[in-house]
Chain A
Amino acid sequence: MAMSQQTSTRLTRGVGAVALVVLIVWTVAPLYWMVVTSLKVNSEIYGEQVTLWPLKPTLDNYRVLFEETNFLIYFRNSVIVAVVTTMLSLVCAALGAYALTRLNFPGRRFFARALVYTYLMPSSLLFIPLLIIIRGVGLQNTLEGLVFSYLGFTVPFCTWLLMGYFMSIPIELEESAMVDGCGRLGVLFRIVIPLTVPALAVVAFFSFTLAWNEFIYASVLVSDLSVRTIPTGIPNFIVEDVFFWGPMMASTLISAVPPLVVYFLFQRFLITGLTLGAVKG
């Protein structure tokens, strides 16, 4: 053998450390640029004197964003859409997953399969007819139309994820509760749901970020400025004003905060939750 076990381990550690530095720079650099741009004055953002670090830090870009743009409207719309989508997804998914894991009925396997098919159905195949349908029922340019369309992504995935968790709860717990006179609904709300709080957190995060990020449906189904959400609202700032990168970066920073905060707080749950499916296979 050319190398001893120890040298080889030390070598891989060294290579690993270098790779780690490169990966961190690659990940952080654009974010760094966003943060510093949002804090710079225009003379440091454009032209000859572009700085890599704000010499005269200012919050003026944030003032412009809040006072001179529709950003607050977009933000409010996004919050409404994301919160309502999350709540409806939780209800549909919890009921559906319970039925698919605990209730024996004909067509159960078929239903579970159909659910996964719908989850994997790419939205690019659906947005054209969806526009015709949503327009037909009068929900174009409404937040309700967006929420309803987003349930098409969130419900299948959330149900599938919860099915995995529900199955990990020993059925004996539920059986003994039913012997004690607890009804099906009692079992669901008093036993199954309290035991799957971490899974519900994952499901809630998934639905929230999906509704918060969604772009295609939002740009197809909504054209009124007053009904736009963040993803379709803020790209318009570029068209409106040439020197808008300061407030633009302020808006991207603020828009990235809600999902980032949730991610920092719950990362352990989220990562195990979302990788569950793949690693199981």
Chain B
Amino acid sequence: MSEATTTLVPTAAPRQPSFWEFVSNDVRTLAFLFLLPTTVVLTCVVLYPFTYALLLSFEDKTAGVPSRFIGLQNYIELLSDREFIEIFYNTVWYTVVAVGIKFLIGLASALVLNQPRRFNNIYRTILFIPWAIPTVIASLIWLWVYNEFNGLLNIVLLRAGILDNGIAWLAEPKWAMWSVIAVVVWSGTPFYTMHFLAGLQSIPKELYEAAEIDGAATLHKFWHVTIPSLKAVFTITVMLSTVFTSTSIVVVNILTNGAPANLTQILPNESYGVAIEAGRMGLGSAINMTLFPFLVVFIVFLTRRMLRKDGT
């Protein structure tokens, strides 16, 4: 009985595959369809704008006026402008110092959180909070903390007798850049801590045990086991952070917008002012493009790194 039913099946006429069935079994068509939305989006909002930005930097383009090709003139104008050179120097200094401090505090935080301690989960959760706080929000909070008359920082320093008069942290040439960097560090350190902690936790215990058998002291283990094992994590974290720190305008824009006297101005924020507020889009693009040759080194390296173990 059961044999009779099974033999019946093949005799049914083979069904014509529907269009959808055809498409979903042809790997190339399917890949094309699956990647279509991504391709359209990335072409429109990344690739095309990037090419456009490059072109703009060779044009005299003012908002509302047709553009005119002027070759390298924007770049020549920039390089002969002392103000631009100062802002370029600021940007480099700001990036190096901010990345350096984030690195050190991030490493210290990760080492501390990696020690066995009760309630470590709670401490970790607290130290990572700034990561979840939007940078704009963090900048506004700090703007209030830095307030000359009513901000937390001056109040505490005055009441503790460390200062006699409140300091205008964001207006005083001596302090402005450091105050900006402090906010960048506050909101960016958890990114480092997170990576470094994950790196520390993936170091095989045997490495430490072997060092202990050899009688290595804590400091010795740190220099000869911990640091070398974290090298890869260090490189990728610092590079990613350098790209994003040097090109982010939020903190500077909200806290000082470059004041006092351009001392805290950085290139991306300068280009925002030139292109959007003053309408000189060609020159604004050129300002950003001057950073690109430096960024491209990191971007190419990081891309290789990020794809290495992904098998593609």
Contact pick for A128, options B218, B281, B309, CB 8 Å: B281
Q: Which range holds the interface residue count of chain A?
A: 35 or more
CB <8 Å contact, A96 and B34: yes
CB <8 Å contact, A128 and B134: no
CB <8 Å contact, B312 and A112: yes
Shortest Cβ gap from A2 to chain B (Å): 8
CB <8 Å contact, B292 and A125: yes
Contact pick for A213, options B42, B134, B232, CB 8 Å: B134
Q: In the complex, which residues of chain B have a beta carbon less than 8 angstroms from the beta carbon of A129?
A: 48-50, 52-53, 56, 285
Q: Which range holds the interface residue count of chain B?
A: 35 or more
Q: In the complex, which residues of chain A have a beta carbon less than 8 angstroms from the beta carbon of B135?
A: 213, 215
Q: Given A26-B186, A278-B240, are A152 and B46 also a contact pair (CB < 8 Å)?
A: yes
Q: In the complex, which residues of chain A have a beta carbon less than 8 angstroms from the beta carbon of B137?
A: 231, 252, 255-256
The distance in angstroms between the C-alpha atoms of A183 and B109, with both chains bound, is 49
Contact pick for B195, options A231, A264, A279, CB 8 Å: A279
Q: In the complex, which residues of chain B have a beta carbon less than 8 angstroms from the beta carbon of A52?
A: 152, 155
Q: Given A92-B41, A120-B303, A128-B53, are A167 and B236 also a contact pair (CB < 8 Å)?
A: no
In the complex, A19 has a CB within 8 A of chain B: yes
CB <8 Å contact, B46 and A133: no
Q: In the complex, which residues of chain A have a beta carbon less than 8 angstroms from the beta carbon of B247?
A: 122-125
The distance in angstroms between the C-alpha atoms of A109 and B307, with both chains bound, is 9
For B141-173 the 0/1 string (1 means CB < 8 A from A) is 111110101111001000000000000000000
Chain A minimum-CB-distance residue to B292: A125
Instruction: Report how many A-B pairs have Cβ atoms within 8 Å.
Output: 308
Contact pick for B141, options A3, A5, A33, CB 8 Å: A33
For A223-247 the 0/1 string (1 means CB < 8 A from B) is 0000000110011001000000100
Chain B minimum-CB-distance residue to A254: B137
Q: Given A121-B50, A183-B25, are A92 and B215 also a contact pair (CB < 8 Å)?
A: no
In the complex, B262 has a CB within 8 A of chain A: no
CB <8 Å contact, B41 and A148: yes
Q: Is the interface of B mostly helix, strand, loop or mixed?
A: helix
For A140-184 the 0/1 string (1 means CB < 8 A from B) is 000000001101100110011001100100000000000000011
Q: In the complex, which residues of chain B have a beta carbon less than 8 angstroms from the beta carbon of A96?
A: 34-35, 37-38
Q: In the complex, which residues of chain B have a beta carbon less than 8 angstroms from the beta carbon of A95?
A: 33-35, 37-38
Besides the contacts A99-B30, A130-B45, A275-B198, what 13 more A-B pairs have beta carbons closer than 8 Å?
A5-B217, A13-B115, A23-B109, A28-B126, A30-B186, A52-B155, A92-B37, A101-B311, A103-B34, A124-B288, A148-B41, A279-B198, A281-B308
Q: Which 3 A-B pairs have the closest CB atoms?
A: A122-B247, A152-B45, A129-B52
A-side interface residues toward B, CB under 8 Å? 1, 3, 5, 8-9, 11-13, 16-17, 19-20, 23-24, 26-31, 33-34, 37, 45-47, 50, 52, 91-93, 95-96, 98-101, 103-106, 108-109, 111-118, 120-133, 148-149, 151-152, 155-156, 159-160, 163-164, 167, 183-185, 209, 212-213, 215-216, 219-220, 230-231, 234-235, 238, 245, 248-249, 252, 255-256, 259-260, 262-264, 267, 271-272, 274-275, 277-281
What are 21 A-B residue pairs whose CB atoms fall within 8 Å in the complex? A8-B218, A20-B112, A20-B113, A23-B105, A50-B155, A105-B27, A105-B32, A108-B31, A116-B302, A118-B42, A120-B302, A124-B249, A133-B49, A152-B42, A152-B44, A155-B41, A156-B42, A156-B46, A167-B311, A216-B268, A264-B125
B-side interface residues toward A, CB under 8 Å? 21, 24-25, 27-28, 30-35, 37-38, 41-42, 44-50, 52-53, 56, 105, 108-109, 111-113, 115, 117, 123, 125-138, 140-145, 147, 149-152, 155, 186, 194-195, 198-199, 202, 212, 215, 217-219, 232-233, 235-237, 240, 243-244, 246-250, 253-254, 267-268, 271-272, 275-276, 281, 284-285, 288-289, 292, 295, 298-299, 302-303, 305-312
